[in-house]
């Protein structure tokens, strides 16, 4: 059996592709993994106790949209973080952001827009679920460059009117994966105004929002509220994976207009997998606690400083303002990743694996993505070997 034709042009996913590139070669030293964005910092020590306290709830079917307590905890966090009041009816619990980013498009992406095939905008390079979601709804994925010239964020305002008139959804990741760029207030205002003018929805992937260097990133919800935008205009997606070092918990949320959230809840009633109740109980407490987030952020701020010190002499190096990835310039990402693995054992991802070729150009080709998730000493050793191998 072959994939349906609509998926026939999907490139192989990044990590299997990387294994084919690297694993036929012996590492040049003790392997150091700097590929996957899997946080290695400690999660709150009380997590296990909460699960143990609610073990009996593994014997119950969990509510699909999230427990009332979880929705209230998320609502409280949104109010504290962004100053926006959101009732539980405007929030839905998710199995992490990836599930939500996909299923929101399935629930809300129309079959046609102004009588034509809908278009779904996304940055290039980008988180690959955006493209799969677009194809699954029968929309045309439109890859918009997010490069040094555009501040590593896509300039959707520069697209032609004819295209914008058939856009149904625009994905935006801030802080950006892989570059760490942050959409400021002016960017959000411009994008929301564009969405209002051309009647499309913004799906704001903000899962890295709590890891930042100097200043908390502004959020799409708060700017939309300040502008008095249509409540259905913006959906935001968050998770506990990065904020709280709990990628295996698989708990996130989507928040937006009541009609949009009702549609997502309806689809998830048929096709979604609810988060087990003991894990929802953990999430209730984790969203309500900020102390561990502050401690976690401080560790990443130390890593920003470490990377700046080690890589300061690298031409084109720019430390990210947020997130935990380095987006490092090289001549060719695949060649650099292979050289680094064979000579040092350091494992990184070629930037082209996050991008798509448009008009003969893949904007990720000249980069590698480096995840700063390893313990500090291991990170220091890995970055030093990377610098000496690729830039000396």
Report the pLDDT value the prediction gives residue 236, as an integer from 0 to 100.
Answer: 98
Average pLDDT, the chain: 95
pLDDT band at 10 (very low <50, low <70, confident <90, very high): confident
Mean predicted confidence (pLDDT) in 345-358? 95
CATH code 3.40.640.10 region(s) in the chain: 47-289
pLDDT tens for residues 227-281? 999 999 999 999 999 999 999 999 999 999 999 999 999 999 998 789 999 999 9
- Give me the mean pLDDT over the 37-41 stretch: 91
Could you tell me which residues come within 8 angstroms of residue 66 by beta carbon, excluding any fewer than 6 positions away? 74, 91, 92, 93, 253, 275, 280
The values of phi and psi at residue 350, to 5°, are -65, 135
Share of the chain above pLDDT 70, in %: 99
Asked whether the bond before 175 is cis by omega within 30 degrees of 0, the reply is yes
Asked, as a colleague might, if the bond just before 72 is cis with ω within 30 of 0, I would say no
Rounded-to-integer distance, Cα 86 and Cα 288, Å: 15
Confidence at residue 1, expressed as pLDDT on a 0 to 100 scale: 58
pLDDT band at 200 (very low <50, low <70, confident <90, very high): very high
pLDDT recorded at residue 5: 76
- At residue 329, the pLDDT reads 97
Task: Give the whole-angstrom CA distance, residue 263 versus residue 271.
Answer: 12
What are the pLDDT digits (tens) for 84-132?
999 999 999 999 899 999 999 999 999 999 999 999 999 999 889 999 9
Task: Decide the pairing of beta strands 349-350 and 91-94.
Answer: unpaired
pLDDT at 2: 64
Q: What is the CATH number of domain 47-289?
A: 3.40.640.10
Query: Reduced to 3 DSSP states, what percent helix, strand and coil does the chain have, rounded to the nearest 5?
Result: 45, 15, 40
- Dist CA 69 CA 51 (whole Å): 15
Peptide bond into 178 cis (omega under 30): yes
SS3 254: strand
pLDDT value at residue 271: 86
Range 204-227 average pLDDT: 97
Predicted local distance difference test score (pLDDT) of residue 9: 72
Residues of the chain with CATH 3.90.1150.10: 5-42+292-390
Given a cut of 90, whether residue 366 has pLDDT beyond it is: yes
CB contact at 8 A, 84 and 221 = yes
pLDDT of residue 13: 85
| Structural contact between residues 144 and 122, judged by C-beta atoms closer than 8 angstroms | yes
pLDDT band at 12 (very low <50, low <70, confident <90, very high): confident
- pLDDT band for position 320 (50/70/90)? very high
For residues 110 and 383, give the distance between their C-alpha atoms in angstroms, rounded to a whole number: 46
Q: How far is CA 172 from CA 131, 153, 253, in A?
A: 12, 8, 16
In the sheet with 167-173, reading across from the earlier edge strand, the strands are 91-94, 252-255, 234-239, 201-205, 167-173, 119-124, 140-145
**Structure confidence at residue 209 (pLDDT):** 98
CATH topology of domain 5-42+292-390: 3.90.1150
Comparing CA positions, the residue from 232, 218, 222, 261 lying closest to residue 94 is 261
């Amino acid at each position: 059996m072959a994939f349906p034709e609509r998926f026939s042009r999907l490139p192989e996913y990044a990590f299997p592709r990387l294994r084919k590139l690297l694993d036929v070669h012996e590492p040049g030293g003790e392997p150091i993994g700097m590929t996957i964005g899997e946080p290695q910092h400690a999660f709150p020590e009380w997590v296990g106790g909460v699960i143990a306290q609610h073990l009996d709830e593994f014997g119950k079917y969990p509510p699909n949209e999230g427990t009332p307590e979880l929705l209230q905890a998320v609502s409280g966090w949104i109010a504290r973080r962004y100053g926006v009041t959101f009732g539980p009816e405007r929030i839905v619990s998710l199995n992490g952001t990836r599930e939500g980013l996909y299923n929101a498009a399935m629930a809300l992406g129309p079959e046609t827009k102004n009588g034509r095939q809908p278009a779904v905008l996304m940055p290039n390079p980008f988180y690959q679920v955006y493209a799969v979601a677009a194809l699954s709804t029968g929309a045309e994925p439109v890859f918009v460059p997010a490069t040094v010239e555009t501040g590593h964020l896509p300039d959707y305002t520069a697209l032609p009117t004819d295209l914008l008139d058939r856009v149904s959804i625009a994905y935006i990741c801030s802080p950006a994966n892989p570059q760490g760029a942050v959409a400021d207030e002016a960017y959000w205002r411009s994008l929301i105004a564009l969405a209002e003018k051309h009647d499309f929805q913004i799906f704001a992937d903000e899962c890295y929002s709590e890891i930042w260097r100097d200043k908390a990133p502004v959020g799409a919800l708060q700017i939309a509220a300040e502008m008095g935008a249509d409540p259905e205009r913006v959906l935001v997606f968050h998770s506990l994976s990065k904020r709280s070092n709990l990628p295996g918990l698989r708990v996130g949320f989507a928040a937006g207009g009541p009609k949009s959230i009702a549609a997502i809840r309806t689809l998830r009633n048929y096709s979604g997998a609810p988060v087990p109740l003991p894990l929802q109980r953990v999430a209730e407490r984790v969203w309500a606690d900020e102390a561990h987030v502050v401690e976690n952020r401080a560790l990443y701020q130390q890593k920003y400083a470490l990377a700046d010190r080690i890589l300061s002499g690298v031409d084109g190096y720019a430390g990210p303002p947020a997130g935990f990835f380095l987006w490092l310039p090289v001549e060719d990402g695949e060649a650099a990743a292979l050289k680094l693995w064979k000579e040092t054992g350091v494992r990184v991802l070629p930037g082209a694996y996050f991008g798509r070729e448009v008009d003969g150009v893949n904007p990720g080709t000249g980069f590698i993505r480096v995840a700063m998730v390893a313990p500090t000493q291991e990170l220091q050793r890995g970055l030093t070997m990377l610098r000496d191998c690729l830039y000396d």
